[in-house]
């Protein structure tokens, strides 16, 4: 650091930072919450990243960190922070943390509080691009046949089946499926989904999806209003995703499915199976709600991998 971090004994509840930086972080959190409409989960993650950054700077410089210190940071200071995370954090976590710090600096610059271009010249760690883990068609079918047999209460079995059929049949994220309300039940052949960034997309709905939802709704003992969550827990409240994830873990154990069999794996399976059946990338991109085609292109690698495995297993000269 060009200059040693100033020592200021202004009291603060948690972090080794001064009041002016505490105020700036608090205002940034309010901006994320009310202007950017960030979720509480996102804000908690960002706060964790900024806390680690400030704690490191305090230890690195030997005192409380103030707002002006952030303006004096050099590239070597930021690289030292990244290096300190190397063995304690996954590369993906560090890449996200760097993105968080850059976001905070951009906010401070827009507010006219300070400007420091050093942070924007720093590149995060290289990430391994993990390929989506899809189930085989037979495994997906086996899961659909079994998911509705795990509870004593029949309406809960029908709920779990409807939810899994919806995720796999429409390629939804679990958060998208659980955010649906009773009024969202598809009346026609499509369903409007609000995805990441509040972007809406229309997805086609197969008859088996509509039938499974209708079967669950008719069996559910709780009354629905237009604004009621579509998927309800045993106590009549919106279904907690952790409850459904637990059911999938039980299903995974019962059917000896891969460890990667999560709700998101069925979304991946939706895309991979469509591609294998001749679906084009642009259409699949629209169905999944991907902002970039490059995200969807990962599924071509999955499909090629499966083709090569089949070739090696079946070709007499392989």
Token reading at 211: 């039938």
Orientation angle between helical segments 91-110 and 40-61, nearest 10 degrees: 90
**Integer Cα distance of 256 and 277 in angstroms:** 26
Is 232 in a helix, a strand, or coil?
strand
User: In angstroms, how far is CA 203 from the centroid of its own chain?
Assistant: 20
Orientation angle between helical segments 263-276 and 241-255, nearest 10 degrees: 70
Q: For the range 305-312, what are the long-range contacts, defined as Cβ-Cβ under 8 Å and sequence gap of 24 or more?
A: 305/131, 306/272, 306/276
Place of tokens 């230890």: 59
**Integer Cα distance of 23 and 46 in angstroms:** 16
- Residue 71 has phi, psi (to 5 degrees) of -75, -20
Residue 99 near residue 106 (C-beta atoms within 8 A):
no
Burial letters 66-77, b for 16+ CB under 10 A, else e = bbebbebbeeeb
87, 91, 94, 100: CA torsion to nearest 10 = -170
- List residues with catalytic annotation: 173, 196, 264, 267, 290, 299
């Amino acid at each position: 650091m060009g200059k040693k971090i100033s020592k200021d004994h202004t009291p603060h509840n948690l972090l080794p930072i001064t009041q002016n930086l505490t105020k700036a972080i608090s205002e940034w959190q309010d901006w994320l919450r009310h202007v950017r409409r960030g979720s509480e989960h996102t804000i908690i993650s960002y706060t964790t990243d900024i806390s680690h950054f400030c704690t490191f700077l305090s230890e690195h410089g030997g005192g409380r960190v103030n707002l002006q210190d952030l303006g004096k940071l050099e590239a070597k200071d930021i690289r030292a922070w990244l290096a300190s995370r190397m063995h304690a954090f996954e590369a993906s976590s560090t890449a996200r943390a760097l993105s968080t710090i850059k976001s905070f600096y951009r906010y401070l610059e827009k507010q006219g509080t300070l400007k420091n271009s050093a942070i924007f010249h720093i590149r995060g760690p290289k990430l391994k691009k993990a390929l989506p883990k899809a189930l085989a068609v037979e495994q997906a079918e086996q899961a659909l046949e079994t998911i509705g047999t795990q509870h004593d209460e029949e309406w809960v079995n029908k709920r779990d089946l409807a939810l899994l059929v919806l995720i796999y049949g429409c390629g939804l994220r679990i958060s998208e499926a659980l955010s649906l309300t009773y009024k969202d039940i598809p009346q026609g052949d499509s369903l409007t989904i609000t995805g990441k960034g509040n972007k809406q997309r229309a997805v086609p709905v197969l008859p088996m999806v509509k039938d499974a939802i209708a079967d669950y709704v008719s069996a559910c003992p709780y009354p629905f209003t237009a604004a009621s969550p579509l998927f309800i827990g045993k106590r009549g409240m919106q279904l907690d995703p952790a409850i459904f994830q637990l059911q999938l873990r039980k299903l995974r154990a019962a059917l000896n499915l891969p460890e990667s069999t999560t709700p998101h794996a069925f979304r991946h399976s939706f895309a991979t199976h469509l591609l294998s059946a001749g679906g084009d990338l642009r259409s699949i991109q629209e169905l999944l709600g991907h902002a970039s085609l490059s995200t969807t292109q990962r599924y071509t690698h999955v499909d090629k991998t499966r083709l090569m495995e089949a070739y090696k297993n079946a070709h007499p000269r392989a």
